[in-house]
Structure 1
Amino acid sequence: MSTARTGAGEDAHAAYVPIAEHGLIGDLRTAALVAADGRIDWFCAPRFDSPSVFGSLLDADRGGCWRMDPVCGVASRQQFYFPDTNILITRMLTEDGIVEVQDFMPVLRRHDPGHRQRLVRRVSAVRGTMTMRSLIAPRLNYGRDRHVRELHGYTAEFSSGALTVRVRGSVPLTAREGDGADAVAEFSLRAGESALFVLETCEPGADCPREPLRPERAEELFRATVAFWRDWLGQSRYTGRWREMVHRSALTLKLLTHEPTGAVIAAPTLGLPEEIGGGRNWDYRYVWIRDAAFSLYALLRLGFTEEAEAFVEWLVRCLRRGGDGEPGPLRVLYSIDGHADLPEEELTHLEGYRGSAPVRVGNRAAGQLQLDIYGELVDSIYLFNKYGKGISWETWSDLCAALDWLLDNWDGADESIWETRAGRRRHTYSRVMCWVAVERMIRMAHQRGLPADLPRWTAVRDLLYRQVMAEGWHEELGSFVQRLGGEGSPPPGILDASLLVMPMVKFLSPKDPRFLSTLDAIGAGLVADSLVFRYDASESADGLDGTEGTFSICSFWWVEALTRTGRVEEARLALEKMFTYANHLGQYAEQIGVTGEQLGNFPQAFTHLALISAAVNLDRAMG
């Protein structure tokens, strides 16, 4: 059983809970973070990218939260998922006994046209007699909108002009003393007794349910939701050594899927810092094209073909839309609906997680040029064409149009995979992925006999390859490096962990001497006990202040690179070490800091995708 424990003496009302001490629940439309002390401190509704209802994760005083606390002292807390589900249980061991809080968002069936969004909290006394206090303190629209509170016995309503939040309970809800914005419930439970709370949101003009809350309905919803998650996970073909970690990653990825559109978001949070007190705080509640190849690879390898098909359909819609209806390249990231207009603004009224400001909503990277995304897009559709049901003529035509643009524009500077803000550079990784785009198009044309300008495609493919080998190789370092040289000048000697993917995308054999030498150079320059930095920020100015931790996706790329080069025992040790950096539930934020703490938005899809790929390939290598 995985647990998180916190001491009884901490001032939980004022403190920020560590990023890692959270679990995720959701209903395939939005998600909430539940801290190990039982508070919900992040929840956006009705979608992942909607403004927050509870946001104390980003401002302990002004963000709002929903607490669930024993009145007596708490000796320790434990948090775990109900087996093979995304139902989260927080157990509190107190002076008076043991109490559990079950948190989940009901999902009753796939693609349910009548889906009703609810956040359910069931509190059960396991042993002893327990007095509990629940504080419901929403702060709508990231805490920017004032709301009116109305209390009706067992119901509390919080309404602004844009949203109504209704909480119904099986115990009375009353006014918080001296406060006109929040509601509280204080109740006692004996062993075997439960109290129930259900939160629902309603937009203006929507029909908000008002029927009485039946406690027995909670058990029906619980059982139906258990059945949904177990039925979904039962499709997995993975039976390897790390089943618990791989399946928890799969369940986490599913929680980050917006089922109505098929989109997979990067993370359900915004503003969580890459450095405590620093300014590298981004909004990740969108869909990066880059995630496509890794998402599809992971989903297809595990057997989740329905999710892969839905994501391909989403990708194709973006491909057809291009730059949101404008001529030019694909955008780096899109909204859940496939729109690329994501203006970035700062929420200056929020202090940020542990004082890490500014808090940004929206993402200016949507306007960057990142040429590598063409490789990731085409590779994802190539994989689907190979392992899925195949692509249509319309999709092939759209791909050819995108490739035509790339063939005319590949030899330029861009911001590339790490989305730096120091101006465009000629990145080696982008050239590798441009090669992938052209090479996979050639493969699909041959496999399916599809019409193609093969002489032109082949010529550009070979030119890209030769350029990487000539201008991306640093002879003195004995490694491929971050940026290309040119005109007889050597490239800057900057190592970059993104180049670990070269054998994964078939650019080089894993036993190629140049890749083996690159692996050794990255190991010496960017790896610290299985943890891998993206690059050395002191050598590669990225236009941003502050520092950052190691990137967990790069650590799993390191595992896979070791595996492919035959260093299996090293790969296994590195993978097992990375597992120890997961939180108590097997989930990862974007980065791991100097002291081992999780940093950045949480949980991050890209990291869990890389975990699945690394584990599956290492399993295969070990027989």
Structure 2
Amino acid sequence: MTTDNDTATTPIRRRGYVDLRSYGALGDGRTVALVALDGSVDWFPIPNLDATPVFARLLDEAEGGSIELTPTQPFTAKRRYIEGTNVLETTFTTETGVATVTDALVTGIAGRMPWAELARRVDGVSGTVRFRWKVAPGTCLATASPWVQKTTHGAVIRVDSVMIAVRGVDHGPRGGGDRAMVGRFSTTGTSRHLLTIVGTANEPLHLPDPTVVIDGVDRTIANWQNWSREFSYDGPWADAVSRSALALKLLIYSPTGAIAAAATTSLPENFSGGKNWDYRYAWIRDTAYMLHALIRFGLREETHAAVSWLLKTIRRHGPELHVFYTLDGELPGLVDEHAVPGWKGRGPVVTGNPASTQLQLGVFGDLFDVIRLYVSAGNVLDADTGRMLAGVADRTCDAWRQPDAGIWELGEQRHYTSSKMGCWQALTCAIELCELGQIPGDPSRWRAERGLIEEWVRVHCWSEKKQSYVAYPGTDELDASVLLHGPSGFDRGARMSSTIDAIIDGLTDGPLVYRYSGVEAEEAAFVACSFWLASALVCVGRHDESVELMNELVALSNDVGLYSEMIDPADSSFLGNLPQGLSHLALINAAITIEELTRNQPKASGKRTRS
């Protein structure tokens, strides 16, 4: 399949995997489905985002499972999200006609459904388009075998604990054997058809009335648009910011309020494979960055749910902070490797992430920055939270002297510069919270240790040769995560500006930024780092450069505004898990930072200005 930003010409039957740029995302507050441009749903865990996926063609083309809905003739396809929603509309054009497919994970009258319900509404536009469909669950990453069971209410498909049913309106079911369901139908200029897939796990299955599901698609559109009207941002790149906010909403796990880092697992960070991890967990770091956006947008419910979940989870598993937690607020288990090939054969495919046991000092700063923002938005901390945070501040005073794994979860522990800056940020926020009466204690020690950290970083983490903050003392290697500490306030002066120049010279390829020195041999450029550079530039007063870079980066999303974890500078291919929350968070926070610091200057056009 070949694609550009608007259309794709595809053969009748796809063979193999598709480019990661091909995927749009649907969600209902509990799980996420990925839909390729050719109409195939290639990723759909049921019922929860972090469940072993029953549809996982994304990672196993032969046995992973998918939900196909595509014209039987050669076609072109063009798609868009319906404005203000995560409902995807794809227009298929063949020699004989035009039809649109509207895809939604349906939400109910009172919010998310108690079951997963994927609705695929097909409307004829002109002429006739012949469609075929196939619902073929996979092997749950080679752990189960699907089978079709006949019941008094029709056939259902069982895969381990998951039960799936297919319902529709004028969808032409034709059996499909003992592992799948298939069908065919033709659209006309006024026809409407519906294919609905419903699923549960370890519980009974509700079989919906298909005519009610059709109304549910319109209700889902209205629900999303009502939500979109609740957040406010009228600065530059408003369309990209709005789409990123909607992408982040997909990653909020509504049963608990936790925020997943990404919707997938095991998508490789390079074309050779090997660096494949599961991101369907809630990182303290990512939660902190998302809360920046939620608070700025005035989204009260999501903000309070995420903060409450985070604080309760930390207290339950404390006193030490963990890097991340499951979406249910538990400690992650061991990493399991599965006997499936992975995307384009570039395994391994895993559930779990080995960073769960690491010491990362930067999480202290992330946690305190979340709470500072939460309080500044007009909220009040409870006594238990205040006492816990005072203890974390005291822990920071001791822990900052230790080596750690750093923000990039590296195997070798060092005195990473950005980790020390994160501890400085934690104590700065703790002092402010104490002075506001939100947490108890005498901040004199926190203030003294903050000064020691600042002096230590300026003496040990600065290279006169590079004229830059370096990744850790004793090296000239660079680390793009230092850019976070322009916005944090650690340094917005000449040294940070000079560090930006060094990073531009040493870690960039066009507008894209690699995470640290030498990593370009192992992986593609990290999308979030690229937006961090835009934020840092404006923090040191380099407004025009910041706007110019931002324009280029906004243009690198796929055709429906989504970002993966990484982009290959050579051809703009997506790599890594997607949608990647940190990428979208970095875009939003960069736009907000630029808007706030350039508010009294001419507005950015949002148009690309650099060749």
> What is the rounded CA distance, in whole Å, between the counterparts of 1:359 and 1:55 in structure 2?
11
Cα drift, residue 450 of structure 1: 4.3
1:119 equivalent in structure 2: 118
Does 1:20 find its partner at 2:16? no
Cα drift, residue 108 of structure 1: 3.2
Structure 1: tracts of 5 or more residues without a match: 485-490, 540-545
Residues 382/111 of structure 1: CA separation in 2 closer, same or farther (3 Å cut): farther
Q: TM-score, normalised by structure 1?
A: 0.92
Cα drift, residue 461 of structure 1: 1.3
The answer on whether the counterparts of 1:319 and 1:399 sit within 8 Å (CA) in structure 2 is: no
1:376 equivalent in structure 2: 366
1:425 equivalent in structure 2: 414
Alignment of 1:392-411 (within 5 A): 392-411=382-401
Residue identity matched to 1:231: N
2:10 equivalent in structure 1: 8
1:606 equivalent in structure 2: 582
1:365 equivalent in structure 2: 355
The answer on whether the counterparts of 2:387 and 2:440 sit within 8 Å (CA) in structure 1 is: no
Per the alignment, in what secondary structure is the counterpart of residue 173 of structure 1? coil
The answer on whether the counterparts of 1:236 and 1:303 sit within 8 Å (CA) in structure 2 is: yes
Does 1:568 find its partner at 2:543? yes
Residues 218/499 of structure 1: CA separation in 2 closer, same or farther (3 Å cut): same
Give aligned pairs, total.
Answer: 594
Deviates more, 1:42-51 or 1:184-193: 184-193
> What is the rounded CA distance, in whole Å, between the counterparts of 2:501 and 2:172 in structure 1?
64
Residue identity matched to 1:384: Y
> What is the rounded CA distance, in whole Å, between the counterparts of 1:403 and 1:342 in structure 2?
28
2:326 equivalent in structure 1: 335
Cα drift, residue 155 of structure 1: 4.9
Cα drift, residue 227 of structure 1: 1.5
- Percentage of matched positions with identical amino acids: 35
Cα drift, residue 456 of structure 1: 1.9
Alignment of 1:130-169 (within 5 A): 130-150=129-149, 155-169=154-168
Per the alignment, in what secondary structure is the counterpart of residue 417 of structure 1? coil
> What is the rounded CA distance, in whole Å, between the counterparts of 1:242 and 1:25 in structure 2?
23
Alignment of 1:540-559 (within 5 A): 547-559=522-534
> What is the rounded CA distance, in whole Å, between the counterparts of 2:270 and 2:311 in structure 1?
36
Residues 397/109 of structure 1: CA separation in 2 closer, same or farther (3 Å cut): farther
Cα drift, residue 548 of structure 1: 0.6
The answer on whether the counterparts of 2:137 and 2:159 sit within 8 Å (CA) in structure 1 is: no
1:81 equivalent in structure 2: 81
> What is the rounded CA distance, in whole Å, between the counterparts of 1:160 and 1:68 in structure 2?
21
Alignment of 1:52-131 (within 5 A): 52-74=53-75, 76-109=76-109, 115-131=114-130
> What is the rounded CA distance, in whole Å, between the counterparts of 1:407 and 1:431 in structure 2?
11
Per the alignment, in what secondary structure is the counterpart of residue 215 of structure 2? helix
Residue identity matched to 1:121: R
> What is the rounded CA distance, in whole Å, between the counterparts of 1:233 and 1:3 in structure 2?
24
The equivalent position to 2:261 in structure 1, one of 266, 275, 278, is: 266
Cα drift, residue 110 of structure 1: 5.6
1:542 equivalent in structure 2: none
Residues 429/110 of structure 1: CA separation in 2 closer, same or farther (3 Å cut): farther
Cα drift, residue 622 of structure 1: 5.0
Residues 360/4 of structure 1: CA separation in 2 closer, same or farther (3 Å cut): farther
Alignment of 1:75-474 (within 5 A): 76-109=76-109, 115-150=114-149, 155-170=154-169, 171-176=171-176, 179-204=177-202, 206-210=203-207, 213-215=209-211, 217-323=212-318, 329-348=320-339, 350-421=340-411, 423-448=412-437, 450-474=439-463
C-alpha distance after superposition, 1:114-158 (max 9, x if no partner): 644311111222111222110111014224201221357995411
> What is the rounded CA distance, in whole Å, between the counterparts of 1:224 and 1:395 in structure 2?
39
1:505 equivalent in structure 2: 488
The answer on whether the counterparts of 1:479 and 1:521 sit within 8 Å (CA) in structure 2 is: yes
Cα drift, residue 341 of structure 1: 2.6
Residue identity matched to 1:88: L
> What is the rounded CA distance, in whole Å, between the counterparts of 1:161 and 1:500 in structure 2?
46
> What is the rounded CA distance, in whole Å, between the counterparts of 2:392 and 2:416 in structure 1?
20
Cα drift, residue 292 of structure 1: 2.4
> What is the rounded CA distance, in whole Å, between the counterparts of 2:442 and 2:271 in structure 1?
51
> What is the rounded CA distance, in whole Å, between the counterparts of 2:11 and 2:201 in structure 1?
40
C-alpha distance after superposition, 1:175-209 (max 9, x if no partner): 33xx52111011122211122122111223x2322
> What is the rounded CA distance, in whole Å, between the counterparts of 1:443 and 1:382 in structure 2?
8
C-alpha distance after superposition, 1:242-280 (max 9, x if no partner): 111110001111111011211110111001111123211
Cα drift, residue 438 of structure 1: 1.3
> What is the rounded CA distance, in whole Å, between the counterparts of 1:130 and 1:152 in structure 2?
33
> What is the rounded CA distance, in whole Å, between the counterparts of 1:20 and 1:111 in structure 2?
30
Cα drift, residue 346 of structure 1: 0.9
Per the alignment, in what secondary structure is the counterpart of residue 195 of structure 1? strand
> What is the rounded CA distance, in whole Å, between the counterparts of 1:143 and 1:125 in structure 2?
38
Residues 554/210 of structure 1: CA separation in 2 closer, same or farther (3 Å cut): closer
> What is the rounded CA distance, in whole Å, between the counterparts of 1:109 and 1:152 in structure 2?
29
Residue identity matched to 1:581: L
The answer on whether the counterparts of 2:12 and 2:71 sit within 8 Å (CA) in structure 1 is: no
Per the alignment, in what secondary structure is the counterpart of residue 130 of structure 2? strand
1:488 equivalent in structure 2: none
The equivalent position to 1:584 in structure 2, one of 543, 548, 559, is: 559
Cα drift, residue 500 of structure 1: 0.8
The answer on whether the counterparts of 1:562 and 1:571 sit within 8 Å (CA) in structure 2 is: yes
The answer on whether the counterparts of 1:264 and 1:287 sit within 8 Å (CA) in structure 2 is: yes
RMSD: 1.9
2:605 equivalent in structure 1: none
> What is the rounded CA distance, in whole Å, between the counterparts of 2:269 and 2:581 in structure 1?
16
1:533 equivalent in structure 2: 514
2:609 equivalent in structure 1: none
> What is the rounded CA distance, in whole Å, between the counterparts of 2:582 and 2:44 in structure 1?
21
Residue identity matched to 1:95: E
> What is the rounded CA distance, in whole Å, between the counterparts of 2:326 and 2:440 in structure 1?
32
The answer on whether the counterparts of 2:496 and 2:540 sit within 8 Å (CA) in structure 1 is: no
Q: TM-score, normalised by structure 2?
A: 0.93
The answer on whether the counterparts of 2:142 and 2:338 sit within 8 Å (CA) in structure 1 is: no
Residues 147/275 of structure 1: CA separation in 2 closer, same or farther (3 Å cut): same
> What is the rounded CA distance, in whole Å, between the counterparts of 1:173 and 1:610 in structure 2?
45
Structure 2: tracts of 5 or more residues without a match: 601-611
> What is the rounded CA distance, in whole Å, between the counterparts of 1:260 and 1:99 in structure 2?
36
> What is the rounded CA distance, in whole Å, between the counterparts of 1:538 and 1:344 in structure 2?
24
Deviates more, 1:587-596 or 1:114-123: 114-123
The answer on whether the counterparts of 1:37 and 1:90 sit within 8 Å (CA) in structure 2 is: no
The answer on whether the counterparts of 1:582 and 1:588 sit within 8 Å (CA) in structure 2 is: yes
Per the alignment, in what secondary structure is the counterpart of residue 256 of structure 2? coil
> What is the rounded CA distance, in whole Å, between the counterparts of 1:501 and 1:568 in structure 2?
17
